[in-house]
Amino acid sequence: MRRLFLTVLVVACAAPFCAAAQAASAAPARVVVQVSEADPARWTLVLNNVKNLQDDLGADKVTIEIVAYGPGIGMLKFDAPTNSRITDAAKAGVLIQACENTMRNQKLVRADMHPNVTYVAAGVTQIIKRQQEGWAYLRP
Amino acid sequence: MRRLFLTVLVVACAAPFCAAAQAASAAPARVVVQVSEADPARWTLVLNNVKNLQDDLGADKVTIEIVAYGPGIGMLKFDAPTNSRITDAAKAGVLIQACENTMRNQKLVRADMHPNVTYVAAGVTQIIKRQQEGWAYLRP
Amino acid sequence: MRRLFLTVLVVACAAPFCAAAQAASAAPARVVVQVSEADPARWTLVLNNVKNLQDDLGADKVTIEIVAYGPGIGMLKFDAPTNSRITDAAKAGVLIQACENTMRNQKLVRADMHPNVTYVAAGVTQIIKRQQEGWAYLRP
């Protein structure tokens, strides 16, 4: 009888305990990185930051998603000066997302974009959603 | 007797479970948006971001608070080029907060500001407070 | 016997309850502040923000860590225009961290830096780590 109560107790408490503990450092690192400026020097900084995170934590220990929107969309165009580094980042497992809202406003189509890019309806919603799922936010 | 223990157990565990679960995606979206630059192009980007969030998620499904401070305070002045868009955002339910610390430093009084603006003692404290309450953070 | 069960229950549930509650506003404010731009006007804004946070919340009620990396590292050089304000911030209990990755890339050594600076291997990792530990993030 005592054993039954203790078992129920442990099972019932394990869920909240784990959920709460996920907020702490035991959780795998997940980071959403925002690109919202038209400056190629900032794009290079973003790509350096992503590479440093992977080098420092181990590429398999950190999940990274770059989201480019507004004036930042230029980083993901096929003819951007960052083209080869986007290829490298994608090969290294980084998810690279372009905002379709922005593309529509700037008359960009998928053929204009880097082939390793994937798409979200609204970049800003994606950035908020990731944070509310517990991801860290980086705005270089 | 067994029933008593189980009841106590359920009541005692429900609170942490719910609190922990709030961190996940079931929670309604809440976003604090920072404006700390003097550049009107950035103010337009901020207002576009806010509108996109409302269009994408539904204006009743996302709580948005804009906080302007430091060089960003200009966005909320009565004579700012963003005047009519601030009116639109306020009508759409966005809370628009000006930092009174900054206003004091820049010799601004409430009569200088957009009529839809509300006030916080320190913009930077508000931004931190919202994050610690679980809001996402957007720095366009 | 009943007392035993209740005691076990309270002890077992206290941990998740406290952990979950830390996400709410009862937790002490902890903020990681990013410096990633080369602009001295932005460095001044960062230091104003930090001072305002301490003045507003009480210096003993908020833990602040400044992390400078990439083009922002200049703020922590010995000959930076912000030198005396870095000294003041350190005296007021602010932790001021320089990114060693960046220093290596820019051929900076510790003798080039402000004496109150401490060091992290990768600034960007530190910013992510702090957020995943529940700190708020400020990118002025």
Please tell me which of the candidates C20, C21, C136 has its beta carbon nearest to residue B131.
Answer: C136
C48 closest CB neighbour out of B12, B70, B132: B70
Sign, CA dihedral B83-B89-B92-B94, equals: negative
Cβ contact, residue pair C132, A29, below 8 Å = yes
Measured CA to CA in angstroms, residue A20 lies from B107, C22, C27, C98 at distances of: 45, 9, 14, 31
Contact across the interface for B52 and A133, Cβ inside 8 Å? no
Residue A61, token pair as written in the block: 């220990």
- With contact defined as beta carbons under 8 Å apart, do A5 and C5 qualify? yes
**What is the reported pLDDT for C27?**
64
* B9 — pLDDT class (breaks 50, 70, 90): very low
Integer Cα distance of A56 and A52 in angstroms: 6
Q: How confident is the model at residue C89 (pLDDT cuts 50, 70, 90)?
A: very high
Q: Which chains touch B (3 or more CB pairs under 8 A)?
A: A, C
Q: Which of C48, C52, C133 to mutate to test the interface with B (most CBs of B within 10 A)?
A: C52
Asked if residue C37 has pLDDT above 50, the reply is yes
**Which pLDDT band, with edges at 50, 70 and 90, does A20 fall under?**
very low
- Cβ of A140 within 8 Å of Cβ of C70? The answer is yes
Sheet containing strand A118-120, edge to edge, reads A118-120, A95-99, A62-68, A29-35, A136-138
Per cent of chain B over pLDDT 70 is 81
Q: What are the chain A neighbours of C101 within 8 Å (beta carbons)?
A: 52, 56
CB pairs under 8 A between A and C: 77
Residues A60 and C133: their CA atoms lie apart, in Å, by 20
Closest Cα in chain B to A4: B2
Whether the CB-CB separation of B53 and A121 falls below 8 Å is answered with no
Which among B68, B72, B66 is positioned nearest to B50, based on CA atoms? B66
**Chain A residues in contact with B57 (beta carbon < 8 A):** 125
Which H or E element spans position B43?
helix B40-57
Backbone CA torsion sign across C53, C92, C67, C126 = negative
Task: State whether B45 and A71 contact (CB < 8 Å).
Answer: yes
Query: What angle, 0 to 180 degrees and rounded to 10, lies between the N-to-C axes of helices B40-57 and B83-91?
Result: 20
In which band, very low, low, confident or very high, does the pLDDT at A26 lie, cut at 50, 70 and 90? low
How far away is chain C from the Cα of B101, in angstroms, using its nearest Cα? Answer: 8
Answer yes or no: do A121 and B23 touch at CB < 8 A: no
Q: What is the pLDDT of residues C11-25, one digit of tens each?
A: 333 333 333 334 444
Instruction: Flag whether pLDDT at C70 surpasses 80.
Output: yes
Mark out chain B residues that contact chain A at CB-CB < 8 A.
2, 5-6, 9-10, 13, 16-17, 19-21, 23-25, 27, 29, 31, 41, 45, 48-49, 52-53, 55-57, 62, 136-140
B72-130: per-residue pLDDT in tens?
A: 999 999 999 999 999 999 999 999 999 999 999 999 999 999 999 999 999 999 999 99
Which of B10, B18, B129, B132 to substitute to test the interface with C, most C CBs within 10 Å? Answer: B132
Structural tokens at position A70: 């507004």
* pLDDT value of position C26: 53
What is the reported pLDDT for C22?
40
The highest-confidence range among A5-14, B14-23, C95-104, by mean pLDDT, is C95-104
Q: Is the ipTM of this complex over 0.95?
A: no
pTM (2 decimals)?
0.83
Q: Which residue of A has its CA nearest to B31?
A: A128
In C, which residues are within 8 Å of A49 by CB distance? 70, 124
Tell me: pLDDT of B31 over 50.
Answer: yes
Query: Can you tell me which residue has the tokens 């005691």?
Result: C7
Which residues on chain B are in Cβ contact (under 8 Å) with C9? Answer: 5, 8-9, 12
Model confidence at C28, pLDDT cuts 50, 70, 90, reads confident
Which two structure tokens, joined as six digits, stand for A131?
A: 């944070």
The dihedral region occupied by A93, where left means phi > 0, alpha psi between -120 and 50, and beta the remainder, is left
Contact predicate A64/A34, CB 8 Å: no
Is the CA virtual torsion C63, C131, B60, B96 positive or negative?
A: positive
